Amino acid sequence: MTHPVTYEREGRIGLIRIENGPVNALGQAVRAGLDAAIEAFIQDGEAGIAVIYGAGRLFIGGADISEFGKPPQDPWLPEVINRIEACPKPVIAAMHSAALGGGLEVALGCHYRLAMPGTKLGLPEVTLGILPGAGGTQRTPRLTGLAKAMEMVSSGAPVTPEAALEIGLIDRIGTGDLLEDAKAYASELLAQAAPVRPVSAMPRPAADATASATIRATLAKTARGLVSPLAAVEAVEAACDQDLPEGLAFERAKFQEMMQTPQREGLIHAFFIERKVARLPEIDGIEPRTLSQIGVIGGGTMGAGIATAALLRGLSVTLIEQDGAAAEKARDTIAGNLGAAIRRSKLTEEGRDAILGRTLATATDYGELKNADLVIEAVFEDMAVKKAVFAELDRVCKPGAILATNTSYLDINEIANSISRPADVIGLHFFSPAHVMKLLEVVVADETAPDVTATAFALAKRLGKVAVRAGVCDGFIGNRILSHYRAAADRMVLAGASPFEIDRALTDFGFAMGPYAVADLAGLDIGYMTRQRKAADRDPQEVVPVWADELYHLGRLGQKTGRGYYIYEGRKGTPDPEVDEMIVKARADAGITPRTFTKDEIVRRYMAAMVNEAARVVEEEIAQRPLDVDVTLLAGYGFPRYRGGPMKWADMQGLESLLSDMESYAQDDPYFWHPAPLLMRLVAEEQTFDSLNAG
């Protein structure tokens, strides 16, 4: 086995190289290797200074997350870093691309820090439900002061080299040639006989009550139930009145505490499944088709959003509308989206001008799509309309062009089979606003060619989206599951819970929004249309939320009309007694005596409905693995990330207890509650959903 850390010398400079692809994570062999390399440097009488650097894509991506939850193996990272810091000769960290978590902590143990332009320097541990555990909370504030350090550890957001230089986190920004820059810096320091400069010997940071109060106020708004950011802040504050050894012990205790939390387990599950989701045997080794010219049909909110997403990532877009006025309107919508991107620093003004002047074309003639590599239609949700669009595309598009539909529920097989090239047809289900939302459902139809699927995944990556493979059914993965848990919520409303109680129970659980606030945001016309569409084959026992139909007929369409389930002033809604009256009447009409629901029961019923339908979706192979469901709900439906997704949540509850909940719900509502066969099988086999994610 080759060693992941090597030591060699050039002149008087010791070079310590870490090579442990893909991200130079600090697994046991790297930690041991660093220890040995520092020892070799100490023993090497010819060497006056050492440089630690990473081979490959980046400096160090942090601790090896896959070791979490396993028995710890010596040497410990905090001790390795202490030994680097205690080295009697100076050590430089030379960083490129990314120095994250334990990676930045290694650099903080060095005496001098050099970063190449564009390096991301950060302590992202809180995004994994933990906090820096190798001195990051103690050394950072000694360099940057309390406020900056608290901000870094609690947000997890990386800083740029420029910002890092300004706050004192690094000493120098290189030119971009890692080894040359590092050796030049080392030679300079040698020439000056620069001393070792351990951060632990620097004065403690000054306490700052205002900064502490400010960060707590921010976290009260942003942390939404996540516990690690505050723990990280407390560890940083400990640096103000403790020397390094005591501070490290305090940090360690907090770190261990966070390691035991279910939030840590949920977040690490989320991290790994987001990377696993694109790994599909059907596209393994398949070359995607070339993509540079994109066509979009329809310039409404969705079409304009899709066009914006593509333009922001450097793709050329031709957008087709029915007439010149509609095309102009679409252009305005896109310009507005780009303006918002400028405000979020995602685009420069020159970038916008170039896009509007060159890379975006609007047209009314489908013939303009003759060179398009991929066309995405985002027209009205109606099979006849979609088929007409596809017939046109079949006529004008070049051979090999991918023809995609953004439908959210229509049968893509039917669309595909209506044209001469079904193998080129795929569903690309974006979520509104399409240039912001992370999720993309890639809906693979019966005839879709594997390289079309591979191209869809490549496109998602280019657009910075998380793609999930879905099969064809009404609603695919996300909306199909949503319609089931939303039905469970409506049944609770009819039985006695208020929409407000349900929303509050679910936001307390960690959802970004509850189902009724979501409905108001999306527009109550959407739900109404869905109910109309499904009315023909509706089972008479299904609960129809008549109050929702009533709201629609009153023109109360949610946020956009100022009233829906809630009354809005701006984006903030307050419950409306009139809605309660409608619901009271609906219950009376149905002969129901309302009962009360605890928060816990609301959450458990809602989640049980979600998990049960998700189990069916997996069983029917609409989702190939439970992780595809988890990623869908996390990336597109506001599911609390620290709970890992509904399937992970179910595993952590214990599937048996969930099944027994469902059996008890079935006693008062036998029509709705039928445990999914997959769930029953897993319980019988004492297995978890996660056992189906392997491979």
> Looking at the annotation, which residues are catalytic?
105, 125
**Residue among 12, 85, 82, 83 nearest 49 (CA):** 12
Residue 133 in the binding site for ligand T1G (CB under 6 A): yes
Q: Within 10 Å of residue 692's Cβ, how many Cβ atoms?
A: 16
Nearest distance in Å: CB 309, ligand T1G? 19
Based on CB atoms, which residue is closest to ligand T1G, 100 or 170? Answer: 100
Applying CB under 6 A, the span of 57-65, 304-312, 509-517, 543-551 interacting with ligand T1G comes to: 57-65
Nearest distance in Å: CB 279, ligand T1G? 7
Residue 77 in the binding site for ligand T1G (CB under 6 A): yes
Q: Are 66 and 107 in contact (CB under 8 A)?
A: no
Give the three-class secondary structure for 425.
Answer: strand
Residue 551 in the binding site for ligand T1G (CB under 6 A): no
Q: Are 52 and 85 in contact (CB under 8 A)?
A: no
Q: Write the single-letter amino acid at 574.
A: T
Based on CB atoms, which residue is closest to ligand T1G, 64 or 424? Answer: 64
Q: Within 10 Å of residue 153's Cβ, how many Cβ atoms?
A: 27
d(CA 433, CA 340): 12
Nearest distance in Å: CB 26, ligand T1G? 7
Give the three-class secondary structure for 283.
Answer: helix
d(CA 132, CA 153): 7
Look up residue 651 and give its two tokens. Answer: 């595993």
For the chain, the farthest-separated pair of C-alpha atoms sits apart, in whole angstroms, at 92
Q: Are 33 and 62 in contact (CB under 8 A)?
A: no
What is the C-alpha end-to-end distance of the chain, expressed in Å? 25
In the window 449-488, what residues touch ligand T1G (CB under 6 A)? none
Based on CB atoms, which residue is closest to ligand T1G, 48 or 78? Answer: 78
Based on CB atoms, which residue is closest to ligand T1G, 98 or 482? Answer: 98
Residue 136 in the binding site for ligand T1G (CB under 6 A): yes
Nearest distance in Å: CB 122, ligand T1G? 8
Where does 147-192 show beta strands of DSSP type E? 172-173
d(CA 252, CA 237): 14
DSSP run (H or E) holding 173: strand 172-173
Q: What does DSSP say about strands 49-54 and 13-18: parallel, antiparallel, or unpaired? A: parallel
Q: DSSP label at 643? A: G
Applying CB under 6 A, the span of 124-132, 160-168, 298-306, 510-518 interacting with ligand T1G comes to: 124-132
In the window 100-119, what residues touch ligand T1G (CB under 6 A)? 100-102, 105
Query: Of these, 4, 48, 62, 514, which contacts ligand T1G (CB under 6 A)?
Result: 62
In the window 272-301, what residues touch ligand T1G (CB under 6 A)? 272, 275
Q: Are 195 and 188 in contact (CB under 8 A)?
A: no
Residue 161 in the binding site for ligand T1G (CB under 6 A): no
Q: Which residues pair with 376 in a beta bridge?
A: 296, 404
Nearest distance in Å: CB 81, ligand T1G? 9
d(CA 175, CA 452): 41
Look up residue 173 and give its two tokens. Answer: 């920004």
Residue 64 in the binding site for ligand T1G (CB under 6 A): yes
Based on CB atoms, which residue is closest to ligand T1G, 98 or 517? Answer: 98
Query: Of these, 13, 33, 34, 125, which contacts ligand T1G (CB under 6 A)?
Result: 125
Residue 538 in the binding site for ligand T1G (CB under 6 A): no
Based on CB atoms, which residue is closest to ligand T1G, 259 or 356? Answer: 259
Nearest distance in Å: CB 198, ligand T1G? 19
d(CA 102, CA 84): 13
Nearest distance in Å: CB 627, ligand T1G? 12
Residue 130 in the binding site for ligand T1G (CB under 6 A): yes
Query: Of these, 22, 203, 285, 695, which contacts ligand T1G (CB under 6 A)?
Result: 22
Query: Of these, 33, 54, 61, 514, which contacts ligand T1G (CB under 6 A)?
Result: 61
- Annotate 590-621 with b (16+ C-beta within 10 A) or e (fewer): eeeeeeebeeeebbbbbbbbbbbbbbbbbeee
Query: Of these, 132, 298, 499, 564, which contacts ligand T1G (CB under 6 A)?
Result: 132
Based on CB atoms, which residue is closest to ligand T1G, 63 or 219? Answer: 63
Query: Of these, 128, 273, 319, 419, which contacts ligand T1G (CB under 6 A)?
Result: 128
Based on CB atoms, which residue is closest to ligand T1G, 71 or 203? Answer: 71
Residue 501 in the binding site for ligand T1G (CB under 6 A): no
Distances (CA, A) of 8 to 11, 49, 113, 267, 344: 10, 12, 20, 39, 45
Based on CB atoms, which residue is closest to ligand T1G, 23 or 676? Answer: 23
Q: Which residues bind ligand T1G (CB under 6 A)?
A: 22-23, 25, 57, 61-66, 77, 98, 100-102, 105, 124-125, 128, 130, 132-134, 136, 272, 275
